[in-house]
């Protein structure tokens, strides 16, 4: 009976660790796509160097390339007189 409880406890602890990891990977992947960076490299860096990799990505990530977030980058070719 104790072995069954130990297995269930280990499964619960594993799920509690994997769920936040999955959420972090999904959020980093979406953010890397939006910012024009490789999602694989971002996820590998965030996972391998957690939590410092996540902090570094949040601090030093580039501007979004699709203009999301209410700010779009100024591009001269969009404003030229034709």
Tens-place pLDDT, residues 6-64: 999 999 999 999 998 899 999 999 998 888 888 899 999 999 998 899 899 989 988 88
Give the pair of three-digit tokens for residue 22.
């999955």
The b/e string for 16-55 (b: 16+ C-beta within 10 A; e otherwise) is eeeeeeeebbeebeebbebbebebeebbebbeeeeeebbe
CB atoms < 10 A from the CB of 56, how many? Answer: 13
Query: Within a domain: residue 49?
Result: yes
Query: Within a domain: residue 31?
Result: yes
Query: Within a domain: residue 77?
Result: no
User: Residue 23 sits in which domain range?
Assistant: 2-62
The domain total for the chain is: 1
Query: Within a domain: residue 74?
Result: no
Query: Within a domain: residue 78?
Result: no
Specify the pLDDT at position 12: 95
Greatest Cα-to-Cα distance within the chain, rounded to the nearest angstrom: 80
Whether pLDDT at 68 is above 60:
no
Query: Within a domain: residue 68?
Result: no
Task: Identify whether the C-beta of residue 40 lies closer than 8 Å to the C-beta of residue 72.
Answer: no
């Amino acid at each position: 009976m104790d072995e069954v409880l130990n297995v269930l406890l280990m499964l619960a602890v594993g799920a509690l660790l994997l769920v936040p990891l999955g959420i972090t990977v999904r959020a980093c992947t979406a953010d890397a796509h939006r910012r024009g960076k490789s999602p694989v490299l971002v996820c590998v860096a965030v996972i391998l160097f957690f939590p410092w990799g996540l902090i570094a990505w949040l601090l030093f990530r580039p501007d979004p390339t699709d203009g999301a977030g209410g700010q779009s980058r100024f591009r001269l070719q969009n404003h030229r007189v034709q």
